[in-house]
Amino acid sequence: MIFSKFFARSLSAALLIAASVLPTGAGAQSSPGTVVTTGQVRAELMAHAPDGADAGKTVWLGLQLTHQRDWHTYWKNSGDSGLPTKLEWTLPAGVTAGDIAWPVPKKIALGNLANYGFDGTVLLPVPLTITPDFKPTLPHNEIDVKLKANWLVCRQECIPEQGEFALRLPVRGSTALNAAAFEASFKAQPTPLGADSRVEVEGKDIKVSVAGLPAALQGKTLELFPETPEVIETAAQWSQSWQGAVWTAKVPLSAERSQSPSVMPLLLVLDNQGQRQGFVTQAKVTGAWPQAAAFKTNASPIPATPAGNTAPLSFWLALLGALLGGALLNLMPCVFPVLAIKVMSFTRHANDRRGHRVSGLAYSAGVVLSFLALGALMLGLRSAGEQLGWGFQLQSPAVVAALAVLFSVMGLNLAGLFEFGQFLPSRVLLLEAKNPAINAFLSGVLAVAIASPCTAPFMGASLGLALALPALQALLIFMGIGVGMALPYLAASLLPALARALPRPGAWMDTFRRAMAFPMFATVVWLLWVLGQQTGIDGAAALLALLVAFSGVLWALTLSGRSRGVVASLSIVVLALLLGAIGRNVTRPLEVSATSARSDRWQPWAPGRVEQALAGGTPVFVDFTAAWCVTCQYNKKTTLANLDVLADLEAKKVTLLRADWTRRDPAISAALSQLGRNGVPVYVLYQAGRAPVLLSEVLSVPELRSALAAL
C-alpha cells in the first residue's frame, strides 16, 4: 500500500491551505507599547491628565477594549460564566492606582444562562493618586506606567488573552489626546443613589426595594445587575413593579449560591433606545440566607506548599519510563488507523522475510527520528523563551487542519475513491516500487504526528525531567519514547515466530482496507472537533467546506466510466454525511461548556486560584486537559464522571479546577513545568500544608478515590 507516499507533500500543502482559511490566534508584542492586538480584541492603554500629573491633580488611566463583531469581555460580576478583566499596575513610589470605574454592562443571554459584559468598544478607566512623596523620572519629568492586563474574550468559544503595556506620563504637560473617550466614559458612569435600599431574603427568592430613583424612571422597566457574583439566577424570569417612587423586584436565588452578603451593591439600568443609564445603590440585607451551595470549612488556612517538590527521577529510570510510555502510545485510539494499516502491510508481505525486516527497520527509523525531531524543536523553542510542552504542535489550528485534510485523503483512498498511482508520475511509482522502505518510513512519521500529543503512563515524569536535563540526555529521553513505540513492530518484523502469527494474504484484505476508511474518518471527526474548540464555528466550517470540495474534486478526477463509480459515490455520501453531522455540533460553545462545568462544580483554572482556595482551607483537584488529548477526554467521560468519585469530591468539599491547554497558554505551561510535567493529561490533588499529589495519566476510579480518602 502506498497511502503515505504523499504524506510530506500533503502535510506541507495542507498547512498552507489551512493557514489561509483559519483565523489567527492572539497577537504578540516584541516589547511593551500602548497597543496590543489579537484576532478578537484591540487593547490600548490610554491616559487623561488635562492639567498635568502633579500631586493633587486629577489623573486617569484606562484600558480601551475594541471587540471584533460577536465577541465580548466581562464586567466585575461576569454572571454565569466568564472572568472579569484584571489590571496589574507597576507604578513608581508615591503613585497608586484605584479600582476600575466599571461602565454599565450589558446582559448577554446564552440559552438558559446569562453573562454580564461588554461588546463593541469599552473603556475601563482607573484613577491615579499622586502623593507628595512621588519623585518623577528625570530628565524628562515623567511618570513611568506599566500595565499587565488579563481578559477573557468570548463568542461561543472563550479565549484567555493578556497584554503588557507601557507609557510615560508627563508631569508638567497636558495629556488630553484621549479626552473624548474619557469624557464619554465619565458620562456613562452609573449615578449613585442616596436613599436607602433593601434586599429581603424570602426563602428561595430575594425581594429588592430601591428608593431615590429619578421621577422620570417611574413606571419604566429596569435591568438589575448585582455586583456580588453567584447570588441570583442570572437568566431567570423575575417580576418587577413600582410602589409609588420605590422600585421593587422579586428575584430567584441561584441554586449554586456561594455568597451570603450583609450588604449587596446593586446596579439598575434603564435602556432607552440604546442609551443606557445606570444607578448604583448599597442595599442592606435582611432575613436569613438559606444554606449556601459553596463548600466551607473552619480549618485555619496554612500556607500552600509549592508545587513540583516531588523526588526527581534518575536519568536511567526516566529512560525506562520513556521506553514503557512509548510502547503504551500504541494503545491510543487516534493511532489505531495508522497502526492497523501497518499490520496490513506486514500481512501483505507475509512470505517476504527480507521485506518484513526492511519495513520494520524503516518504520522504526521514521518513528525514532520523528520523536528526536519533535524533541529538538521543542527544546530549541523553549530555550528561545517559548512556553511549550509536549503536544505543542496540536495547539496550532493550522496543524490540526492539515492533519484533518491528510486523514481525509487517506480515508478516501482506503474507501476506493481513488488510487495515488492515478496522480503520480510513473518515475515516482517506479521509485516507490524499488524502495518500499520509503513508504514504511513515512508511516512511522505519520504515526508519531498523531500519537505525540498524548502522554501515556510512565511518560509524564520522564518528559518533565527531560526539560531539566542537558540537551543530549533530553534527546535520549525522546529517542527512548520512539524506540518504545516502534518496538512491537520491530519485533514482529525481526522474529519469525511473531511473523508467522500474522494472518495470510487473501481477499479479506480488500474488505479490511475499505473498513479501515471509517477509523480514518472518525479521526477526521475528532480533529474537526479539536479545531472547533480552538477557532470556533468559522474555522471548523471553513475546513469542512474545504474537505467536501476536495473530495468532490477527487471524485470527478476518478470518474472514467469504470465500475469504481458506485463505490466512489457511496464514499462521498458517507464522508459528507459524517462531516455534516459533526459540523453542526463540532463547536459546542466553550462558554456553554464552562457554565455547564460550573454546574458540576468545575471552575476554570487561573494563576493563583489554587493558592486562594487552599488559603480558605479547602483541598483542590486540578485537571490539566486539552481537547486534542484523547486520554484526557476518556478520563473525563469515565473516572471524572463516576458517581462514586463525584460523591467523594462532594464529601471532601474539594474545589475542582480545570486548566484547558487546547490552545497555547504560557500560564498553564509554567504550572505544568512547576509540577515536573510538560504534557497533558496531568491530575493534581492539593491540600494545604502537604506536597501536591500527582496521579496517573490514565486515571482510574480506585486511584482517585484512594487519594481522596487520604485527605
Rounded to an integer, the average pLDDT of 48-73 is 87
**What are the φ and ψ backbone dihedral angles of 29, each rounded to 5 degrees?**
-120, 140
Residue 484 has pLDDT above 50, yes or no: yes
Cβ neighbour number for residue 15 with a 10 Å cutoff: 17
Q: State how far the Cα of 91 lies from the Cα of 447, in Å rounded to an integer.
A: 52
SS3 138: coil
Q: State how far the Cα of 602 lies from the Cα of 541, in Å rounded to an integer.
A: 29
Per-residue model confidence as pLDDT tens digits over 123-162: 999 998 888 888 876 666 788 899 999 998 887 667 888 8
Single-letter amino acid, residue 61: L
Q: Which CATH architecture has domain 192-286?
A: Sandwich (2.60)
Residues 578, 580, 584, 589, Cα dihedral to 10°: 70
Residue 372 has pLDDT above 80, yes or no: yes
β partners of residue 202: 205
Per-residue model confidence as pLDDT tens digits over 101-133: 999 999 988 767 788 999 999 999 999 888 888
Listed in sequence order, the residues at least 6 apart from 269 whose beta carbon sits closer than 8 Å to its beta carbon are 104, 190, 222, 223, 224, 225, 276, 277, 278, 279
pLDDT tier at 375 (50, 70, 90 boundaries)? confident
Assigned CATH for 590-709 = 3.40.30.10
Among 47-56, 99-108, 341-350, the range with the most confident prediction by mean pLDDT is: 99-108
Whose grid coordinates read 507604578? Answer: 91
Per-residue model confidence as pLDDT tens digits over 393-424: 556 677 777 777 777 777 777 777 666 555 44
Whose grid coordinates read 457554565? Answer: 595
**pLDDT more than 70, % of the chain:** 68
Rounded to an integer, the average pLDDT of 307-323 is 60
Q: What is the CA radius of gyration of the chain?
A: 30
Q: State how far the Cα of 365 lies from the Cα of 445, in Å rounded to an integer.
A: 9
pLDDT tier at 632 (50, 70, 90 boundaries)? confident
At 694, which helix (H) or strand (E)?
Answer: strand 693-694
161, 29 contact by CB (below 8 A): no
User: Can you give the pLDDT at residue 100?
Assistant: 92
Work out the angle between the directed axes of helices 459-466 and 315-328 (0-180°, nearest 10).
130
**409, three cell numbers:** 485523503
User: Can you give the pLDDT at residue 320?
Assistant: 82
Q: State how far the Cα of 646 lies from the Cα of 660, in Å rounded to an integer.
A: 20
Tell me if 35-188 shares its fold with 192-286: yes
Rounded to an integer, the average pLDDT of 189-215 is 88
pLDDT tier at 43 (50, 70, 90 boundaries)? very high
658, 601 contact by CB (below 8 A): no
**Among candidates 327, 337, 364, 334, which has minimal Cα distance to 457?**
327
User: Can you give the pLDDT at residue 625?
Assistant: 87
Cβ neighbour number for residue 170 with a 10 Å cutoff: 16
Residue 367 has pLDDT above 80, yes or no: yes
Rounded to an integer, the average pLDDT of 273-290 is 87
pLDDT tier at 599 (50, 70, 90 boundaries)? very low
Assigned CATH for 35-188 = 2.60.40.1250
| The dihedral sign for the CA sequence 556, 557, 559, 564 | negative
pTM (2 d.p.) = 0.43
User: Can you give the pLDDT at residue 512?
Assistant: 72
Listed in sequence order, the residues at least 6 apart from 289 whose beta carbon sits closer than 8 Å to its beta carbon are 201, 257, 260
Cβ neighbour number for residue 468 with a 10 Å cutoff: 11
User: Can you give the pLDDT at residue 581?
Assistant: 44
Residue 291 has pLDDT above 80, yes or no: no
Domain ranges (residues) in the chain:
35-188, 192-286, 590-709
Residue 84 has pLDDT above 60, yes or no: yes
Rounded to an integer, the average pLDDT of 590-610 is 62
